[in-house]
């Protein structure tokens, strides 16, 4: 079971022996990759699936965290979005028009420890939710590798991979994965193959 972390908590590291002059390894060999799944997701009334307890993107994010052994950080808006679908649609439209940067309630305290960031989000009005821009502009992505995935109602990645490249300065942004939002709720097993293949192709899990 994956636990959502409000402060980017990390797994307990095993103690390492103090290197001597004779045993010290090159810096490149000492660097260990550490993966974080970051996601923004909304429960409540959703397009085509009615009222749900867990958002479409959250379902995918939890599965990806399980498959990769990554930590999971869930972006929490300081002002939660309404449960009503159309109310949220209207707010999201206003935020996009004004290029708003909605405040985020929680903080990823151990951000610097992660090398690989798997970033998940729904498509809102053909774009990333504006709160994702808040997140990307709040952290230093220098030297990190970003793997984007989204859930959508028919628009695929909708140009968001390029938007991430332009916003997450200093990151290497890899090929993204688009997942049908309705299928996350009703036919999730049918989506696992696509997720698993993307993770393997991205080198995030070992190929069997």
Mean pLDDT of the chain: 89
Give the pLDDT mean for 66-92.
98
Rounded (10°) CA dihedral 103, 80, 180, 118? 40
**In this structure, what token pair is assigned to residue 7?**
């402060």
**In this structure, what token pair is assigned to residue 166?**
């332009």
| Separation of CA 45 from chain center | 21
Is 160's pLDDT higher than 80?
yes
Per the CATH hierarchy, to which homologous superfamily does domain 33-192 belong?
Answer: Flavodoxin domain (3.40.50.360)
> pLDDT class for 207, splitting at 50, 70, 90?
low
Q: What is the pTM of this model?
A: 0.86
pLDDT tens for 6-47 read 457 543 334 444 444 344 444 444 468 899 999 999 999 998
CA–CA dist 59, 69 (Å, integer): 15
Q: Where are the alpha helices (DSSP H) in the chain?
A: 27-30, 56-68, 85-97, 130-138, 160-167, 181-186, 188-201
What count of other Cβ atoms lies within 10 Å of the Cβ of residue 163?
18
Evaluate whether 37 touches 61 at the Cβ level (below 8 Å): yes
């Amino acid at each position: 079971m994956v636990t959502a972390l409000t402060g980017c908590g990390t797994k307990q590291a095993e103690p390492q022996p103090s290197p001597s002059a004779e045993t010290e390894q090159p810096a490149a060999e000492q660097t260990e990759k550490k993966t974080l799944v970051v996601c923004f997701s909304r429960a409540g009334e959703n397009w085509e699936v009615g009222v749900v307890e867990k958002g479409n993107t959250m379902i995918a994010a939890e599965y990806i965290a399980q498959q990769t052994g990554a930590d999971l950080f869930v972006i929490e808006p300081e002002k939660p979005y309404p449960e009503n679908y159309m109310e949220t649609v209207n707010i999201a439209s206003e935020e996009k028009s004004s290029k708003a940067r909605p405040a985020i309630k929680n903080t990823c305290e151990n951000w610097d420890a992660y090398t690989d960031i798997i970033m998940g989000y729904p498509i809102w009005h053909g774009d990333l939710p504006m709160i994702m821009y808040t997140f990307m502009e709040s952290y230093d992505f220098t030297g990190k590798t970003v793997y984007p995935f989204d859930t959508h109602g028919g628009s695929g990645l909708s140009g968001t991979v390029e938007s991430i490249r332009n916003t997450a300065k200093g990151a290497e942004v890899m090929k993204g994965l688009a997942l049908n939002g309705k299928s996350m709720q009703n036919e999730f097993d049918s989506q696992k193959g696509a997720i698993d293949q993307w993770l393997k192709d991205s080198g995030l899990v070992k190929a069997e």
